[in-house]
Structure 1
Amino acid sequence: MTSILVTTHAITGHLRYATPLVRELVVAGHDVLWYTGRAFEPLVVGTGARFAPMTTRAGADAGARDALQSAPDRAGGVGGYGTTVLEVFVRPVEAFVADIDELIDSFAPEVVVSDHSFLAGMFAAERRNIPLVAFSTSALHVSSVDTAPYGTGLPPARGPLGRARNRLLYQLVRRVVMRDPQREATRIRAALGLRPLPGFFFSWPQQIVDRYIQSSIPEFEYPRRDLPDSVVFCGPTRLEGLDDWKEPAWWGRIAQARATGRPVVFVTQGTAATDPLDLLLPTINGLAAEEVLVVATSGGRDPQEVLPADRRPPNLVLEPYIPFTEVLPHVDLMVTNGGFGGVQTALAQGVPLVAVGDSEDHMENNARVRWSGAGLWLRKERQTAEQMRDAVHTVLTRPAYRARARELMTAYARFPDGARAATRVVLDAATARRRGAH
């Protein structure tokens, strides 16, 4: 049995990516202690792990998620991350480390597993020379001479001019856009007695971890000649659904539509950026007169409040939630705001995409959808009904999108169980004889 300390931000999406891994570790008989916000205790306990709450001293609970949603500069892009990154991801680090230090003293973990943006978990493990594994909750967050900075949504650029572009953009991001978070992160490392690290602080995890689990496949990622050896592609973990979810009474409409040649379009509003005027209602309105079946989720909102039943077009089914793993094997296209897990799950099923928006980390996920050739990216957060209708029509009628999604499905099939693969990575790191062994 291995003692494993898991540390995550108190943000729903970050916990969702950790849940399958933690459950797999517990089932395998390991002792897992999970440090996160108090609001998530039921989720943690449900995995079989023990729960360690963030303290009042750390000044964070489930509020990190609220900060992400209410940040005044939520509009997207690198600039859109500035204030949020400083206040949510950097400033609380020292208080989190104080919490984690006490857990290390009492629990004595043999390995620390941290979400890729939770600097406190990584810094605490580094200070104690404990094997460290990070797991990603988004598109690959690794700086490279071949790529623009994370958050710009720019595709890779080849050749000397492209590399010059990338160098310039990294300097701009580090010294201007992310100047304050960079300075604060540098100050915190010094205050914690840690060695200075070169480069942009977004890239520091790759310099200190033993392994970096990327819950995706190489074919979905930009090529990088300088990809660190620590990065391990494990494929997507199976996103957890509701334990009591059952097929609703209307479920047979999906099979009926496909049997008659009507495409099935799945529309997901997401769980963070949930304004139905951005994506959900424009898509519903744009497809109302089309020969398709629209299966849509409202991001947890009451469907009756989003669109009363007497105003819904006859080709629409609207639910608060449908597990991706249940619906995606039966659809022809997914319309999404670009959540990482949803995009991965869709492509693993060979489903092409219409991706909308550039808020939060969705910009980078959506940019890879376009770059991979598996779908369209409509960059503006709010689209018109006509724009959504035209985008859906384009992807449905041009075989290249589905063909590329099918190619990626074959690539994803090489990674049939992301949680089990990630578990092996964690246990390998825990049994390494010395830090840095690969």
Structure 2
Amino acid sequence: MAFPNFSCSDTLLKSSRIDAAETACEGETVTTRGLIVVCATPMGGHVGPLTAVGAHLVSQGWRVVMVTGSRFAHQVTAAGLEHVALSGVADFDEKDPSTFTPHLDRYRGLRLSRYQVEQTFIQPITAQAATLDTVVSEQPVSAILTDGTFAGTLPLLSRDRASRPPVIGLGVMPLAQTSCDVAPTNSGMPYMAGPLGRLRNRLAHRAVRHVLFRATQRLAHDRIEEAGGRLTGFVLDFSAQCDRFLQLGPAEFEYARRDLAPNTAFAGPVVARRSRPVPPPPWWTEMLADPRPVIHVTQGTLDNHDFTQLVGPALEALADSPVQIVVTTGGAPTHELARIAPVNARIAEYLDYEELLPRTALMVTNGGFGGVMTALRHGVPLVVAPGGEDKPEVAARVGHFRVGINLRTRRPSPQALRDAVDAVLADATFVDSASAMRDAIATYDPFAVIDTELRHLIRQHPTDPPAHAMSTPDTDAPDTDSPHTEENPT
């Protein structure tokens, strides 16, 4: 698919990726550099990759201001970006869920998804928009790059395009976009092809829009109106309303969609590196000398306050297995786990994944998108016990693409974990699929894609028409069996 109005006519989007050599546009230099505003929901899995994007843009000569939570100020400034803190309900602390999701334990399934969406995505809109408006009004802004869950960008997007900077959305979770081919976002429902699957999806989307998320849509309408904007479609289709939306993952890890929004492309995962190196733990050399396969177990950096969900059962499940269990707590204290750990387990708060994962036979995880992308970037198969937020969607894709096993529960039994680990280690199909995903990921250059899209949008803005129609995909589209393969190869 060729983009119009490129100054370099041979720069093409091929299967939703752009080769680095193409984006360079040999002989062409960009002499104008201005201010880029980057917006991120204050959660580590969102701030990390967007900070990495911002640091890249700084290296290309841009001035970058990042709007996110106050607790990320050091991380952002250490990467060379300027930091503007969110305020009020928008400046929540993911490490203390009781402060922004106090009733989390009351919900399950899609009702849990609705509650989390409202508390982290909808309620902060007005405060997010106020901070963003202040930044944009104080100085000329060349473009805005927004986390795909930072809904405070929606009031600005509803304005006339000529009166605002261009906006590029960046997806740091499974693609959230209504489709006749895919079940509702965060439902965790497995992919089902054919007319029966599309019928199921159509009915599920209607139930979500008109029943389960009806109040959520009304709340979003009110918050956006308070911020001086208007809601033009279903709020969970935020990705389709950006001028461009770049999914920071491979198309190979996304379901085939015939109605993928034309503003959407796949850029591949961004590696979010820590500002300071992670020193190896005292047992690292001993682990390297141990010939037993390494099983890495993690509950990520957010849902790590209750290790009875996954880490504890995994330690029990693998205590007698001929493996090394390597646990990271995501910053949580290790002393309680150390007391119950079997002799074949090693525990640390953090480890350098670039050192650990090439030595890892299997990852057991609660399904954070960033962690799963990192594992697949190294060709490591997975066993996923999905927690909340977007994790059921991640786990569903792990199972669908045969890069691991989806346990479909956040609290698996030790026996279920043992059986899943044994199954993955015994079946070369999982390793082969994970290796194929690794090879696919290696073909993407996300920074090159972002550079090209940014250059294109800035040159096109504001006189050219928007690059996509601001409409919601038709989930009642006629049934045909020819999925949209140009943007989303299968």
TM-score (norm 1): 0.92
Task: Choose 216-225 or 124-133, whichever is displaced more.
Answer: 124-133
Aligned-pair CA distance for 1:84: 2.8
Distance 2:443 2:278 in 1: 29
1:90-119 Cα shifts (integer Å, max 9, x gaps): 133223222222211112211111111111
1:428 aligns with 2:470: no
Question: CA, structure 1 residues 64+252, in 2 after alignment: closer, same or farther (shift >3 Å)?
Answer: closer
1:278 to 301, 309, 312: 309
* 8 Å contact from structure 1 (residues 153, 363) kept in 2: yes
1:33 aligns with 2:65: yes
Distance 2:231 2:150 in 1: 18
Tell me which residue corresponds to 1:63. Answer: 93
- The aligned amino acid for 1:158 is A
- The aligned amino acid for 1:280 is V
1:44-95 Cα shifts (integer Å, max 9, x gaps): 111211111223xx43313366346644247553210222322332133223
Aligned-pair CA distance for 1:277: 0.7
2:283 counterpart SS class: helix
1:391-423 Cα shifts (integer Å, max 9, x gaps): 1111001111111111111111111x4344334
Distance 2:105 2:140 in 1: 40
Distance 2:72 2:316 in 1: 36
Distance 2:443 2:105 in 1: 39
* 8 Å contact from structure 2 (residues 385, 409) kept in 1: yes
1:295 counterpart SS class: strand
Tell me which residue corresponds to 1:244. Answer: 277
Question: CA, structure 1 residues 395+118, in 2 after alignment: closer, same or farther (shift >3 Å)?
Answer: same
Q: Note the 1:11-50 alignment, pairs <5 A.
A: 11-50=43-82
Tell me which residue corresponds to 2:474. Answer: none
* 8 Å contact from structure 1 (residues 10, 65) kept in 2: no
Question: CA, structure 1 residues 398+373, in 2 after alignment: closer, same or farther (shift >3 Å)?
Answer: same
Distance 2:49 2:386 in 1: 22
Task: Choose 27-36 or 245-254, whichever is displaced more.
Answer: 245-254
Question: CA, structure 1 residues 60+197, in 2 after alignment: closer, same or farther (shift >3 Å)?
Answer: closer
2:421 to 392, 405, 427: 392
1:374 aligns with 2:403: yes
Q: Note the 1:300-339 alignment, pairs <5 A.
A: 300-308=331-339, 311-339=340-368
Distance 1:64 1:360 in 2: 12
Distance 2:427 2:66 in 1: 46
* 8 Å contact from structure 2 (residues 35, 141) kept in 1: yes
Q: Note the 1:95-174 alignment, pairs <5 A.
A: 95-127=127-159, 128-174=163-209
Distance 2:246 2:191 in 1: 22
Distance 2:179 2:235 in 1: 13
* 8 Å contact from structure 1 (residues 254, 330) kept in 2: no
1:402 aligns with 2:431: yes
Question: CA, structure 1 residues 285+300, in 2 after alignment: closer, same or farther (shift >3 Å)?
Answer: same
Aligned-pair CA distance for 1:165: 1.1
Question: CA, structure 1 residues 151+38, in 2 after alignment: closer, same or farther (shift >3 Å)?
Answer: same
Distance 1:65 1:228 in 2: 34
Tell me which residue corresponds to 1:204. Answer: 238
Distance 2:35 2:286 in 1: 48
- The aligned amino acid for 1:431 is R
Distance 1:432 1:425 in 2: 10
1:35 counterpart SS class: strand
Aligned-pair CA distance for 1:125: 4.5
Question: CA, structure 1 residues 368+75, in 2 after alignment: closer, same or farther (shift >3 Å)?
Answer: farther
Distance 2:440 2:277 in 1: 32
Unaligned runs of 5+ in 1: none
Aligned-pair CA distance for 1:32: 0.8
* 8 Å contact from structure 1 (residues 5, 109) kept in 2: yes
Aligned-pair CA distance for 1:130: 1.8
Distance 1:240 1:338 in 2: 19
Question: CA, structure 1 residues 270+71, in 2 after alignment: closer, same or farther (shift >3 Å)?
Answer: farther
- Relative contact order: is structure 1 or structure 2 higher (C-alpha 8 Å, sep ≥ 6)? 2
Task: Choose 187-196 or 321-330, whichever is displaced more.
Answer: 187-196
2:327 to 271, 296, 314: 296
Question: CA, structure 1 residues 427+46, in 2 after alignment: closer, same or farther (shift >3 Å)?
Answer: farther
1:182 counterpart SS class: helix
Aligned-pair CA distance for 1:145: 0.6
1:185 to 196, 200, 220: 220
* 8 Å contact from structure 1 (residues 122, 132) kept in 2: no
2:145 counterpart SS class: strand
Distance 2:467 2:243 in 1: 7
* 8 Å contact from structure 1 (residues 64, 88) kept in 2: no
User: Per residue, is there more helix in 1 or in 2?
Assistant: 1
Tell me which residue corresponds to 1:220. Answer: 253
Question: CA, structure 1 residues 345+129, in 2 after alignment: closer, same or farther (shift >3 Å)?
Answer: same
Question: CA, structure 1 residues 428+331, in 2 after alignment: closer, same or farther (shift >3 Å)?
Answer: same
CA RMSD across the alignment? 2.1
Question: CA, structure 1 residues 51+242, in 2 after alignment: closer, same or farther (shift >3 Å)?
Answer: closer
Distance 1:282 1:249 in 2: 25
1:326 counterpart SS class: helix
Distance 2:276 2:452 in 1: 26
1:141-178 Cα shifts (integer Å, max 9, x gaps): 11101000011111222222221211111111112221
* 8 Å contact from structure 1 (residues 78, 150) kept in 2: no
1:273 counterpart SS class: coil
Aligned-pair CA distance for 1:348: 1.4
2:446 to 374, 393, 418: 418
Distance 2:80 2:157 in 1: 23
Taking only the aligned residue pairs, the percentage that are identical comes to 32
* 8 Å contact from structure 1 (residues 73, 83) kept in 2: no
* 8 Å contact from structure 2 (residues 129, 155) kept in 1: yes
Distance 1:433 1:180 in 2: 35
Aligned-pair CA distance for 1:131: 0.4
* 8 Å contact from structure 2 (residues 128, 152) kept in 1: yes
2:429 counterpart SS class: helix
1:232 aligns with 2:265: yes
Aligned residues: 428
TM-score (norm 2): 0.82
Distance 1:382 1:196 in 2: 38
Question: CA, structure 1 residues 293+313, in 2 after alignment: closer, same or farther (shift >3 Å)?
Answer: same
